[in-house]
Chain A
Amino acid sequence: MTTLATTARVAEAAAPLDGRGPLTTMLERVRAGRQFNPNVLSTLDVLQVLYDRVLRITPATVDDPDRDRFLLSKGHAVAGYYALLAAKGFIPPDWLDDQGGPESRLGDHPDRTLVPGVEIGSGSLGHGLGLGVGTALGLRAQGLLEPRVYVLLGDAELDEGSNHEAIAYAGAVGLANLTAIVVDNSSATHGWPGGLATRFTANGWTAVTVDGRDHGALHTALTGHHGHRPHLVVAVIEDGE
């Protein structure tokens, strides 16, 4: 990805969110002149659609038991996440200027105890989906049937076997308040012959595969769960886009 393409991509992703300021400004503050690798940008669109149109969570409801939960399992995808949290008012934009610094609350992987709105600390791959299954079960056990749990993973992250424990179990028990989102930028070293969605659907999940840049398609997919089964959204990011 060239610098020019990156800049264009960021600008395109920078539609004003809610009047608090464009995402571009926030992202450039996190970026501080560094070159982002593609997996940072690959999550931007799905994060925007989630926070703009899907998740029932605001800075005022970060501790509300009835809020939706968004769990970023691929914890390295923080740049867009932090920028979005700042644009949405979860964290002060000033925090973005010192990401990773000795006094910063924003590391290269997020820590839930340091960042308002962050549901889990992540970084080591393969932990978010298990935590998401437990969260979905915990909500259900307490009669909290409205909130939904969304877990964002990457296609390479699915290499970790712990995900497959979670996929099989969530499907077996029909964990209907769980949505997994896999950003598929074809980064898994050995690929997923037959398609990664089959690993979920074989275990009873519903699944939709969409263009990871298409906000309308993402919105339809992210709200396309049925009520009896866990739901998968595969957001495909074509190489070189």
Chain B
Amino acid sequence: MRDRFVDTTTALLAEDPRTALVLADISADAFAAAARRHPDRVLNVGIREQLMVGVAGGLALTGLRPIVHSYAPFLVERTYEQIKLDLDHQDVSAVLVSVGASYDRAESGRTHLGPADVALLDTLSGWTVHVPGHPGEVPALLRAAVAADGSAYLRLSTLRNAEPYGGDGALVVVRDAGPGAALLVAVGPMLDAALSAVAGLPVTVAYTHRPRPFDTTGLRALADREVILVEPYLAGTSARLVAAALIDRPHRLMALGVRREELRRYGSAADHARWHGLDASGLRRAITGFLSPALV
């Protein structure tokens, strides 16, 4: 996904003189050619993330459209007040693009894990959040985000599904289990594991690569009594939106995602998915328990 981001951003810089890119050393090598061609609009401030977002706010104040890029925890957690004040409070916007996701580089330990990014942006107002599940989804999502007016966050990952899905982020039914079935909403790269998990179970699976704004209209059209969220960031991040969308209906919700406790373990992304119960067998265990509580 990072490669597609680099290629698309490089093209956008050439196509639209309003586009600017702000970096804090991360991925600077990948943008070296773009920086040579557009030295005034490809700005690497060094390892200074607060300044990276402050500069983006200043660029936007002059009418430019900044893309801001770093590792997820450095882009969103370290700069949270700059995002809140230098972008939102100034009534200007930017497109933030992270890599690393929740545990892409699990071997690097806690400092490089970013499971709280979407929850943090949820404390703010009006952010669009894209969580592509395949590299092929990245160019269209990035182009649409840059062409729009508001602020957007693209959460890129090395984890991916086998196939890309197009669309604008409205829920897409990938597996239809018929009337009365439970609805599972898989966000971004969680889709394939979720599909494996529900083999043989009465569960309809819908996919989205745009959890914000959450497709509540689609949710109301597809949901019956049971809803299962499978998100690649903190468990429960979208639970409040599902609860609000279904406020007039009796329903049960299980929200799966990355758990809050610090594991203090390295290993691989696959290891962390398993430890958080987000691999196919962990998901199946949780889903079976949710649908047949008496059997567990």
If over half of A's interface residues share one DSSP class (helix, strand or loop), that class is named, otherwise mixed; here it is: helix
Q: Collect the chain A residues with CB atoms within 8 Å of residue B179's CB.
A: none
Asked whether, in the complex, the Cβ of A127 is within 8 Å of the Cβ of B54, the reply is yes
Asked whether, in the complex, the Cβ of B51 is within 8 Å of the Cβ of A142, the reply is no
Pick from B45, B59, B82: contact of A127, CB under 8 Å: B82
Pick from B51, B62, B90, B91: contact of A138, CB under 8 Å: B62
Interface centre among A121, A140, A165, by most chain B C-beta atoms within 10 angstroms, is A165
Asked whether, in the complex, the Cβ of A165 is within 8 Å of the Cβ of B63, the reply is no
Asked whether, in the complex, the Cβ of A131 is within 8 Å of the Cβ of B43, the reply is no
User: What is the bound-complex CA distance between A113 and B48, given in angstroms?
Assistant: 28
Interface centre among B17, B43, B54, B58, by most chain A C-beta atoms within 10 angstroms, is B58
| Minimum C-beta distance from A191 to chain B (A) | 23
Asked whether, in the complex, the Cβ of A142 is within 8 Å of the Cβ of B90, the reply is no
Asked whether, in the complex, the Cβ of A141 is within 8 Å of the Cβ of B64, the reply is yes
Asked whether, in the complex, the Cβ of A124 is within 8 Å of the Cβ of B85, the reply is yes
Q: Collect the chain B residues with CB atoms within 8 Å of residue A137's CB.
A: 40, 43, 55, 58-59
- Say if the beta carbon of B145 comes within 8 Å of chain A: no
Q: Collect the chain A residues with CB atoms within 8 Å of residue B82's CB.
A: 127, 130, 162
Q: Collect the chain A residues with CB atoms within 8 Å of residue B50's CB.
A: 126, 130, 161-162, 165
- Say if the beta carbon of A132 comes within 8 Å of chain B: yes
- Say if the beta carbon of A79 comes within 8 Å of chain B: no
Asked whether, in the complex, the Cβ of A138 is within 8 Å of the Cβ of B59, the reply is yes
Asked whether, in the complex, the Cβ of A131 is within 8 Å of the Cβ of B45, the reply is no
Asked whether, in the complex, the Cβ of B55 is within 8 Å of the Cβ of A134, the reply is yes
Count residues of B near A (Cβ-Cβ below 8 Å). 29
Q: Collect the chain B residues with CB atoms within 8 Å of residue A121's CB.
A: 85, 89-90
Asked whether, in the complex, the Cβ of A169 is within 8 Å of the Cβ of B48, the reply is yes
User: What is the bound-complex CA distance between A111 and B88, given in angstroms?
Assistant: 12
- Say if the beta carbon of A182 comes within 8 Å of chain B: no
- Say if the beta carbon of B56 comes within 8 Å of chain A: yes
User: What is the bound-complex CA distance between A134 and B81, given in angstroms?
Assistant: 16
- Say if the beta carbon of B41 comes within 8 Å of chain A: yes
Asked whether, in the complex, the Cβ of B58 is within 8 Å of the Cβ of A135, the reply is yes
Pick from B45, B60, B62: contact of A165, CB under 8 Å: B45
Asked whether, in the complex, the Cβ of B62 is within 8 Å of the Cβ of A131, the reply is no
Asked whether, in the complex, the Cβ of B41 is within 8 Å of the Cβ of A127, the reply is no
User: What is the bound-complex CA distance between A139 and B63, given in angstroms?
Assistant: 9
* Interface flags, B70-81, vs A, CB<8A=1, else 0: 000000000001
Q: Collect the chain B residues with CB atoms within 8 Å of residue A130's CB.
A: 50-51, 53-55, 57-58, 82, 86
* Interface flags, B20-40, vs A, CB<8A=1, else 0: 100000000000000000001
Pick from A133, A139, A140: contact of B55, CB under 8 Å: A133
Q: Collect the chain A residues with CB atoms within 8 Å of residue B61's CB.
A: 119-120, 131, 134-135, 138
Of chain A, the residue at the smallest CB distance from B55 is A134
- Say if the beta carbon of B126 comes within 8 Å of chain A: no
**Residues of B84-99 contacting chain A, CB below 8 A:** 85-86, 89-91
Asked whether, in the complex, the Cβ of A133 is within 8 Å of the Cβ of B62, the reply is no
- Say if the beta carbon of B213 comes within 8 Å of chain A: no
- Say if the beta carbon of A176 comes within 8 Å of chain B: no
Pick from B46, B48, B58, B91: contact of A134, CB under 8 Å: B58
Pick from B46, B51, B91: contact of A133, CB under 8 Å: B51
Q: Collect the chain A residues with CB atoms within 8 Å of residue B17's CB.
A: 142
In order of increasing CB-CB distance, the 10 nearest A-B pairs are A134-B58, A130-B54, A138-B62, A134-B55, A165-B48, A135-B58, A165-B51, A141-B40, A138-B59, A162-B50
Q: List 12 A-B contacts (CB under 8 A).
A: A129-B54, A133-B51, A134-B59, A135-B62, A137-B58, A137-B59, A138-B59, A141-B20, A141-B41, A141-B62, A168-B46, A168-B48
Q: A127-B81, A141-B40 are in contact. List 5 more A-B contacts (CB 8 A).
A: A65-B63, A120-B90, A124-B85, A134-B58, A138-B61
Residues of chain A whose beta carbon lies under 8 Å from any beta carbon of chain B = 65, 111-113, 119-121, 124, 126-127, 129-142, 144, 161-162, 165-166, 168-169, 172
